[in-house]
Amino acid sequence: MSPNPTQTISMTGGRGRLASLVSDHFRAPAYKVKPYSRTAGPGFISLDSLLQPAVLANAGTIFHLAWSSLPATSEQHPGIEQTHDLPFLDLLLTALATNADTKRTRLVFFSTGGAVYGNAPGRANQEGDTCQPIGAYGRFKLAAEQLINERAQRDGLLCTVLRISNPYGYPVPPSRAQGLIPHALRCSVNDQPLNLWGDGSTRKDFLYYTDFLSALEHMLAANLSGTYNLCAGHSHQISEVIKLVETEAGHPITLVPTPAPAWDVHDSRLSNEKFCRATGWQPQVDLAEGIRRSAAGYLQH
């Protein structure tokens, strides 16, 4: 029996922390990862070169992670996505539709779960629900989804949209305005105060990073097209998360309550049933175990 051919993954936003996890996971000989970045340099290919037909024809699957904002920074820099992200996506979709060779290239867009849907309607959001984003980040991610869906339908492109919840379990820089669990671990271990938005009753879905990576493997194997929630399928209150971190890190956290921003989703609940049915994937690490592993890794450094 001949060995399986190497799969090529072309990844935009290659300098991001999530992208580096993907690069570390999808290794040779099964995979060849080509990281693209707006800032080219050693180990990174210029993002603009991905628009060339000859490059696209050999791109394999494109993991499109490049995005200029986080939920908080999207509010601080209004319209940055209209300047950078949506125009590039439009150019990329146009380039993919150029000829038969590039049309065979699959585009996987990394969207967002809670921010796209807005607050849950008393149950877990499913992919067919009406999206009602309450912040700029969610609105622009939804605009990108709509552009992808329109062009995929019009031009016969192979596209997958993943509405991802909150991956965790890997290091996040202290300056990054995202990632409750790593920031709470840092504050617990270093006896630093943690700014808490609201009263701790906000609910979020947290997906351990190894489950996130295995889900991407399942997605590739299933050749998925369409829109899917990629999540743990269970939401937890922020107060519960903080208690678990305190237990595993061994130190109480001094909380500094601040008003929750108007754009922050208070009740995020996501269903993963569609993705699980389509791929056979199931998350393996629950929140308590994921925080236990995260704390053990943090305490070793």
Phi-psi label, residue 15: left if phi above 0, alpha if psi -120 to 50, beta otherwise: alpha
pTM above 0.85, yes or no: yes
Average pLDDT, integer, range 262-279: 97
What's the confidence (pLDDT) of residue 290?
A: 97
pLDDT band at 1 (very low <50, low <70, confident <90, very high): very low
pLDDT band at 147 (very low <50, low <70, confident <90, very high): very high
What are the tokens at 79? 């319209």
Percent of the chain residues topping a pLDDT of 70: 97
What are the tokens at 135? 């912040």
Neighbouring residues of 122: CB distance < 8 A, sequence distance ≥ 6: none
What's the confidence (pLDDT) of residue 131?
A: 97
Phi-psi label, residue 135: left if phi above 0, alpha if psi -120 to 50, beta otherwise: beta
Report whether 251 contacts 188 (CB < 8 A): yes
What's the confidence (pLDDT) of residue 171?
A: 81
Q: Is the pLDDT of residue 3 over 60?
A: no
Pick the range with the lowest mean pLDDT from 97-106, 108-117, 151-160, 196-205. Answer: 97-106
Phi then psi for 102, rounded to 5 degrees?
-75, -25
Distance between CA atoms of residues 23 and 9, nearest Å: 9
Q: Is the pLDDT of residue 210 over 70?
A: yes
Q: What is the DSSP string of 165-226?
A: -EEESS---TT-S--HHHHHHHHHHHT--EEEETTS--EEEEEEHHHHHHHHHHHHHHT--E
Structural domains in the chain, CATH included, are 7-169+206-233+267-284 (3.40.50.720)
Q: Could you report the per-residue pLDDT of 37-69, keeping only the tens digit for each?
A: 999 999 999 999 999 999 999 999 999 999 999
Neighbouring residues of 174: CB distance < 8 A, sequence distance ≥ 6: 183, 186
**Residue 9 class from Cβ within 10 Å (0-12 exposed, 13-18 middle, 19+ buried)?**
buried
pLDDT band at 2 (very low <50, low <70, confident <90, very high): very low
CA distances from 222 to 37, 86, 160, 276, 279 (A): 27, 28, 11, 11, 6
CA distances from 100 to 34, 148, 152, 249 (A): 22, 18, 14, 54
